[in-house]
Amino acid sequence: MDLYGLIGKTLKHSFSEAYFREKFEKEQIDARFQNFELETIDVFPKILSENPNLLGLSVTIPYKTVIIPFLDEVDPSAKEIGSVNSIRVSNGKTIGFNTDAGGFSNSIKPFLAHGMERALILGTGGASKAVAYALRQTGLDVVLASRTPEEGQLGYSEINQNAINAFKLIVNTTPLGMYPDVSSFPDIPYEYLTSEHLLYDLTYNPAETEFLRRGKEKGAIVVNGLSMLKIQAEMSWEIWTG
| Fold classified for 102-227 | Rossmann fold (3.40.50)
| Fold classified for 2-98 | Rossmann fold (3.40.50)
Catalytic residue among 26, 64, 79, 109: 64
What integer pLDDT is reported at residue 13 of this predicted model? 79
Verify whether residue 64 is a known catalytic residue: yes
What integer pLDDT is reported at residue 115 of this predicted model? 77
Q: Give this prediction's pTM.
A: 0.91
pLDDT tens-place values along the chain, 242 residues long: 999 999 999 898 789 999 999 999 999 999 999 999 999 999 999 999 999 999 999 999 899 999 999 999 999 999 999 999 999 999 989 999 999 999 999 999 999 877 789 999 999 999 999 999 999 999 999 999 999 999 999 999 999 999 999 999 999 999 999 999 999 999 999 999 999 999 999 999 999 999 999 999 999 999 999 999 999 999 999 999 98
What integer pLDDT is reported at residue 14 of this predicted model? 85
What integer pLDDT is reported at residue 134 of this predicted model? 97
DSSP result, the chain: -EEEEEEES--TT-SHHHHHHHHHHHTT--EEEEEEE-SSGGGHHHHHHH-TTEEEEEE-TT-TTTTGGG-SEE-HHHHHHT---EEEEETTEEEEE--HHHHHHHHHGGGPPTT--EEEEE--SHHHHHHHHHHHHTT-EEEEEESS--TT-EEGGG--HHHHHH-SEEEE-S-TT-TT-TT------GGG--TT-EEEES--SSSS-HHHHHHHHTT-EEE-SHHHHHHHHHHHHHHHH-
For the chain, give every domain's residue range.
2-98, 102-227
